[in-house]
Chain A
């Protein structure tokens, strides 16, 4: 009952006209940037994050929720219309979405994607309402050793999102941890890893890293790939037919349920669940031969799984502080700008704020559907804007946006350096997401480690002597094995799809 009351109060905040406007602006610009070919939702959120920096925390987070859902949907647009997946999670959508677009049925494919995303996203957010507080009830039992074990659990995400090589993922993660320690020490407050350069005492800002690695490097790659505008033919009516909806209804429920429950496991990303949902749907179908040639269920299954996994990711993000996907890692960086530190204490310490965010997710998701169905034609036209016009705009907005976060020119320099570094890392297939996740979690990991030792009088076995931390360590081991098996399976599916891993 208390949960319902808090949720209603969250809706009261999120439904205020100015907050609603922020959700609409967020959804609009999120879709706009997410729909740009090859950019993907992670880059879209990274580019747009600074725009929210000057808003009040509630408005900014509401706008972020809109940007998140908009960018996720925008990513599906370029995957369907152009066959260019912005991230690995969109590869499965390409398999049938792009053939549909080629057959002049891009409209229904986009409409189905929007509807599937909305339905599964709503299911996921409803589940978040019920599951979140359950986790929160355990919050008071969490001490530093439990937090430390929780941070270890995040390593499963690093492995899960690390691409083809576990050793590369670990190396990038350790490098991310190291970067996060630049600045003043936790115990002595003395500068460390600054090598005598005083401007580094304040540490590196996560947004400058995110913008460098995901926005600037993406544009540099785009120049090299000679991205050009691609002319689309008629995309057809945006509204799916009754037959399409009938075919998709069960698919959405199956894909959404699978995506949600698999997404609750840290380390199981949307890239994995989209392919699982696609394969499940193919197995359930009486006409599996249609898959790969423009089957509407082939769009509905991965899209619903994608959005449900993202929503489930919010549970692990809010309740455990672990981002389960690249867009959520960037979103976590955004939430932390506003002093919101996800983790077990979040529901206890900031209930009003959290419930306003959850309500704004409902609204962001709904606004996305309302905006996207009529504007599908606009998103299709957007893919025809020359890259030579878009790229300078993205680069300048990235640089100015980075500056506006802390009004510090050092952040701009850091973004530029990491932009170039990101370009080379991508070239040589070094995963970027582990770096960001570990950069975000690094200070928390160190703090919980030091506090654990202090409270245990230097006993290093404290992590195995407390039930919750021991359970978390065992779960980490089990999940590591599961995520490695699933990741191998997904990599082989992506390879067999004929699309390059992104």
Chain B
């Protein structure tokens, strides 16, 4: 169990986000239309200042609640969660590279293998059934236009 003083760290993040918003408001100010006192930057500037004030309060004024420490997974569970997260980002990449059907099968297989207690054969069957069901739902019924696999472009097709 680790005490991260999470609220203070969040305060720093809020302060930085608020600072970025104020910076953006200053950048936008010269683009004002006419002599109006409000423009595209007004609300952003207000939010930036508000977030900086709240961030400052979290850093310097509010006391972190010691009894609300966050527990993070360790060991095998941490590996499992990182693998699942990695697979999700890999799906985002593969969808664009090898196309919808192949990537759904591969990532589905990986997710079932990581998260369930079944062996490779069982997970392959689950992944295949899921891919077919999703193909029927999203491609045949809903007719969603998925990205063209870029691998086909590289192969010159």
Contact = CB atoms under 8 A, between A and B. Distances in A.
A192 interface: yes
B126 A400 contact: no
A307 B134 CA distance: 33
A337 to B, nearest CB: 14
A454 interface: yes
Nearest to A425: B10
A453 B17 contact: no
Interface stretch (A35-43, A86-94, A412-420): A412-420
A171 B14 contact: yes
Interface string B35-49: 011111111100110
A409 B38 contact: no
A399 B39 contact: no
Contact of B85 (A220, A226, A412): A220
B39 A188 contact: yes
A186 B41 CA distance: 10
A396 B96 contact: no
A392 interface: yes
Interface in B67-91: 68, 70, 72-73, 77, 80-81, 84-85, 88-89, 91
A28 interface: no
B6 A181 contact: no
A416 B91 CA distance: 10
Contacts of B47: 174, 177-178, 181
B98 interface: no
Given A175-B51, A185-B40, A192-B40, A396 B130 contact: yes
Nearest to B127: A392
B16 to A, nearest CB: 12
Contact of A177 (B42, B43, B89, B91): B43
A428 B33 CA distance: 42
B117 interface: yes
A412 B147 CA distance: 12
B91 A178 contact: no
Interface in B88-119: 88-89, 91-92, 95-96, 100, 104, 107-108, 111-112, 115-118
Given A177-B47, A190-B31, A193-B44, A388 B92 contact: no
Contacts of B12: none
A445 B85 CA distance: 35
Given A399-B91, A404-B144, A409-B96, A220 B21 contact: no
A171 B62 CA distance: 13
B117 A388 contact: yes
Given A174-B50, A190-B28, A391 B111 contact: yes
A21 interface: no
Interface in A288-307: none
B142 interface: yes
Contacts of A167: 54, 57-58, 62
A473 B83 CA distance: 50
B111 A399 contact: no
A409 B77 CA distance: 29
A5 interface: no
Given A53-B142, A187-B33, A396-B91, 20 more contacts: A54-B143, A170-B54, A175-B14, A177-B47, A178-B21, A181-B47, A185-B31, A186-B40, A188-B28, A188-B31, A188-B33, A395-B88, A396-B108, A399-B91, A400-B134, A403-B144, A404-B144, A409-B92, A449-B43, A458-B37
Interface of A: 51, 53-54, 167, 170-171, 174-175, 177-178, 181, 185-188, 190, 192-193, 195, 216, 220, 223-224, 226, 386-389, 391-393, 395-397, 399-400, 403-404, 407, 409, 412-413, 416, 419-420, 427-430, 445-446, 449-450, 453-454, 458
29 contacts: A51-B142, A167-B57, A167-B62, A170-B54, A174-B51, A175-B17, A175-B51, A178-B47, A185-B28, A185-B31, A188-B39, A190-B28, A220-B81, A386-B116, A386-B117, A389-B112, A391-B115, A392-B115, A396-B104, A399-B88, A400-B138, A403-B144, A407-B144, A409-B92, A430-B10, A449-B38, A450-B38, A450-B42, A453-B37
